[in-house]
C-alpha cells in the first residue's frame, strides 16, 4: 500500500504542534529499551519531536514530555517501566508532564490494561504499528486534552520519509524489514511486531546513499531475520521493484558495498536456517562487509532446538559454521544463547557448552529464559526452576569469559583497522573505535581522526576492550 498520504497528514500535525510550541522551547526526555530496531524507531520519534520544536534533555525533571519506547522480549523490561512510571507520578502532578509510552510492550493487552488501571496519569499509549502517527497522537493529547490509546493489532504498513534524528554522525542503522514470521516458541516478537515485510530496494539504497553523502561511514542493516529479506514478497507474489539489481539479501549487500563513502557494512540478525550460499559468497566478496557475523544459536541441543522451533539441528549449525569459516577469510562469529528453556535437562545444556567450545565465538549475548504470555513456551510443562537457570547461566558465563580472555590475547601485537567513533566516555583524553570484529579499542590520538578508518597496533588487552597505538 502507498502510505505517502498518511505521512503527509502527519507532517500537517507536526506543523500544528510546532505552532503551539512557538517561543516556548519545550523539552523531551526519551528512554529506549530493547533491540537496535527499537533504537532506530526512537531515532524516528526524536526526529518527529525535534521537528515539532522540542529539544532533547537527559534530565526528565526538565522535560515537558517523557517518552518511553518499550521492549517486552524479557521480563526485566516490565519491571523497569513500572518502576520509572512510579517515579513520574509526582512530576505529572506538579508540572503537567505529558507521558507517552510506545513500542513492543504496548502490543500486549495485559500490560496496557495494567497501565490504564494503575497508572491512569499516562497520556498516550501507542503501539509498534502506529509509531508514524505520533505527531497526531501528541497533538490530540496536548490540544484536545484527551487520553490517547492508539494501538492496532494488524500487520503494519511501511511508512517511508518519516523525520529522523540519528544518535551518531558516523554509524547509522537502516531497518530493511519489519516483523517476523518465525515464531520461535520462546519469543514474543512475532506477536508484537506483526508479520514479516520488507522495505523496497529503492528506498533502502536511497537512504544509504543519502547517509553516505552526509558523511556516515558505517551502516548496520536491521531486521529480525535479515537474510530472508524479500522472501515473503517472492513467496506470496507481492510485487516489488528491483533496483540496482537488488532482489535478495545477498544482492542488497552487493549493492550497498558499491556505494561510495560507506566503509563498513554490518547486519543483525540473520537466521541460521536462511543462511544460503549466495549470502556467504556476498560476505566473502564484499570488502566493506564486516567479517563478524552474528549467528544466533539459542541452544546447542537438537531436541531443545526443535522445541524452540528453530528449524536447525546442532549438527547443521556446526556445519554452517564450518562452511562459513572455509569460505570467508578472517570470519569471526557472535551469538545469542538462552539458558533454561522449558524441559532443558543438564545433559542437553551441555550441548550448548559444547557448541560454544567448538565455535569459539567472539562475543556471546547470554539470556535466562523468560516466560512470555501468549507464546507456546509459556504453556509448556517442565518450566525450569530459577536456581537451575541461574546455575546454568553462570556456568556458560564462566566458559564464555575464559574464551574471550584467550581470544583477546590473539589481538596483541596485530594491526587492526579501526573506525574511530569519538572520545572515550571514561577518559576524554583517549579516543575510542571498533575493529571489524566489533571489539572496542581505546587509544591516544588527535581528534581529527574521528570518523576515519585507521590502522592501529594493539598493545594490550583487557576483558572488554583493547588498547592500541596509532601507527606512524
Where helices occur in 63-108 by DSSP H, the ranges are 76-95
Nearest to ligand SAH of 133, 271 (CB atom) = 271
**359 is a contact residue toward ligand SF4 (CB under 6 A):** no
List the grid coordinates of 443. 587509544
Out of ligand F3S, ligand SF4, ligand SAH, none, what residue 71 binds, judged by CB under 5 to 8 A for its kind, is ligand F3S
- For residue 419, report the phi and psi dihedrals to the nearest 5 degrees: -90, 115
CB burial of 397-425 (b: ≥16 within 10 Å; e: otherwise) equals: eeebeebbeebbeebeeeebebbbbbebe
Q: Which of residues 202-231 bind ligand SF4 (CB under 6 A)?
A: 224-225
Q: Binding to ligand SF4 (CB under 6 A): which residues in 308-347?
A: none
Contact 452, 420 (CB under 8 A): yes
One residue of 47, 161, 190, 343 binding ligand SF4 per CB under 6 A:
190
Q: From the CB of 338, what's the least distance to ligand SAH, in Å?
A: 5
Q: Which of ligand F3S, ligand SF4, ligand SAH, none sits in contact with 65, Cβ below 5 to 8 A by type?
A: none
Residue 67: CB minimum distance to ligand SAH, A: 22
Strand 431-435 relative to strand 415-423, pairing? antiparallel
- Out of ligand F3S, ligand SAH, ligand SF4, none, what residue 190 binds, judged by CB under 5 to 8 A for its kind, is ligand SF4
Out of ligand F3S, ligand SF4, ligand SAH, none, which partner does residue 372 contact, by CB within 5 to 8 A per kind? Answer: ligand SAH
Residues 6+ apart with CB under 8 A from 421: 168, 170, 171, 431, 432, 433, 434, 450
Helix (H) / strand (E) element for 134: namely: helix 134-143
By the rule CB under 6 A, 71 interacts with ligand F3S: yes
Residue 115's binding partner, choosing from ligand SF4, ligand F3S, ligand SAH, none, with beta-carbon cut-off 5 to 8 A by kind?
A: none
Phi, psi of 97 (to 5 degrees): -50, 135
Q: Is 180 in the site for ligand SF4 (CB under 6 A)?
A: yes
How far apart CA 207 and CA 295 sit, in angstroms, is: 26
108-115: long-range pairs with CB below 8 Å, 24+:
108/72, 108/188, 108/191, 108/192, 108/373, 108/374, 110/373, 111/72, 111/78, 112/149, 112/151, 114/82, 115/85
Closest approach of ligand SF4 to the CB of residue 189, in Å: 4
Please identify which residue in 367, 395, 423, 457 interacts with ligand SAH, judged by CB under 6 A. 367
Determine contact, residues 106/127, Cβ cutoff 8 Å.
yes
Q: Which of 49, 73, 162, 308 binds ligand SAH (CB under 6 A)?
A: 73
**Of positions 14, 49, 72, 115, contacts ligand F3S by CB under 6 A:** 72
Stretch that binds ligand F3S, among 159-167, 187-195, 286-294, 309-317 (CB under 6 A): 187-195
Binding positions for ligand SAH, 307-336, rule CB under 6 A: 336
- Measured from the CB atom, the residue of 32 and 332 that comes closer to ligand F3S is 32
Nearer to ligand F3S, 187 or 420 (CB): 187
Q: Which three cell numbers stand for residue 27?
A: 523539552
Ranges of H-type helices in 35-108: 36-51, 76-95
In the region spanning residues 15 to 34, those forming contacts with ligand F3S, defined by CB under 6 A, are: 34
Residue 176 is a binding residue for ligand SAH (CB under 6 A):
no
For the bound state, the minimum distance from the C-beta of residue 111 to ligand F3S, rounded and expressed in Å, comes to 12
Which of 418, 425, 452, 443 lies closest to 169, judged by CA? 452
Hunting for cell 549467528 — which residue is that?
295
Residues that bind ligand SF4 (CB under 6 A): 180, 182-184, 187, 189-190, 224-225, 271
Positions in the binding site for ligand SAH (CB under 6 A): 73-74, 186-187, 189, 224-225, 269, 271, 296, 298, 336, 338, 367, 369-370, 372
Amino acid at each position: 500500500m502507498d502510505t505517502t498520504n498518511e505521512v503527509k497528514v502527519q507532517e500537517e500535525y507536526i506543523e500544528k504542534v510546532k505552532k503551539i510550541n512557538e517561543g516556548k522551547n519545550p523539552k523531551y526526555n526519551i528512554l529506549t529499551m530493547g533491540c537496535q530496531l527499537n533504537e532506530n524507531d526512537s531515532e524516528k520519534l526524536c526526529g518527529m519531536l525535534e521537528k515539532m520544536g522540542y529539544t532533547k534533555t537527559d534530565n526528565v525533571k526538565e522535560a515537558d514530555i517523557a517518552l518511553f519506547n518499550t521492549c517486552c522480549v524479557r521480563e526485566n523490561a516490565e519491571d523497569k517501566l513500572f518502576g520509572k512510571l512510579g517515579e513520574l507520578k509526582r512530576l505529572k502532578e506538579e508540572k503537567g508532564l505529558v507521558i507517552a509510552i510506545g513500542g513492543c510492550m504496548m502490543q500486549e493487552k495485559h500490560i496496557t490494561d495494567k497501565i490504564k488501571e494503575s497508572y491512569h496519569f499516562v497520556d498516550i499509549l501507542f503501539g509498534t504499528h502506529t509509531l508514524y502517527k505520533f505527531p497526531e497522537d501528541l497533538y490530540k493529547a496536548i490540544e484536545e486534552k484527551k487520553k490517547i490509546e492508539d494501538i492496532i493489532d494488524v500487520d503494519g504498513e511501511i511508512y517511508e520519509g518519516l523525520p529522523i534524528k540519528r544518535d551518531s554522525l558516523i554509524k547509522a542503522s537502516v531497518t530493511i524489514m519489519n516483523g517476523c514470521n518465525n515464531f520461535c516458541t520462546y519469543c514474543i516478537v512475532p506477536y508484537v511486531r506483526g508479520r514479516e515485510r520488507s522495505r523496497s530496494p529503492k528506498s533502502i539504497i536511497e537512504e544509504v546513499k543519502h547517509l553516505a553523502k552526509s558523511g556516515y561511514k558505517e551502516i548496520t542493516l536491521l531486521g529480525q531475520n535479515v537474510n530472508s529479506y524479500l522472501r515473503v514478497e517472492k513467496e506470496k507474489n507481492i510485487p516489488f521493484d528491483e533496483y540496482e539489481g537488488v532482489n535478495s539479501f545477498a544482492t542488497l549487500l552487493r549493492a550497498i558495498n558499491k556505494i561510495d563513502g560507506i566503509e563498513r557494512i554490518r547486519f543483525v540478525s540473520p537466521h541460521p536456517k536462511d543462511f544460503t550460499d549466495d549470502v556467504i559468497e556476498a560476505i566473502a566478496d564484499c570488502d566493506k562487509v564486516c567479517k563478524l557475523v552474528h549467528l544466533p544459536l539459542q541452544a546447542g541441543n537438537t531436541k531443545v532446538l526443535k522445541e524452540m522451533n528453530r528449524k536447525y539441528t546442532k549438527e547443521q549449525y556446526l556445519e554452517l559454521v564450518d562452511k562459513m569459516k572455509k569460505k570467508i577469510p578472517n570470519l569471526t562469529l557472535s551469538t545469542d544463547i538462552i539458558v533454561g528453556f522449558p524441559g532443558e535437562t543438564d545433559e542437553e545444556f551441555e550441548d550448548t557448552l559444547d557448541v560454544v567450545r567448538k565455535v569459539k565465538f567472539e562475543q556471546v549475548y547470554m539470556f535466562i529464559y523468560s516466560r512470555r504470555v501468549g507464546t507456546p513456551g509459556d504453556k509448556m510443562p517442565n518450566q525450569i526452576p530459577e536456581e537451575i537457570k541461574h546455575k546454568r547461566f553462570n556456568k556458560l558465563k564462566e566458559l564464555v569469559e575464559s574464551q574471550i580472555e584467550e581470544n583477546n590475547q590473539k589481538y596483541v601485537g596485530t594491526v587492526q583497522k579501526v573506525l574511530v567513533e569519538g572520545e572515550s566516555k571514561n577518559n576524554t583524553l583517549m579516543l575510542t573505535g571498533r575493529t571489524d570484529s566489533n571489539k572496542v579499542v581505546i587509544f591516544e590520538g588527535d581528534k581529527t581522526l574521528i570518523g576515519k578508518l585507521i590502522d592501529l597496533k594493539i598493545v594490550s588487552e583487557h576483558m572488554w576492550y583493547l588498547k592500541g597505538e596509532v601507527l606512524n
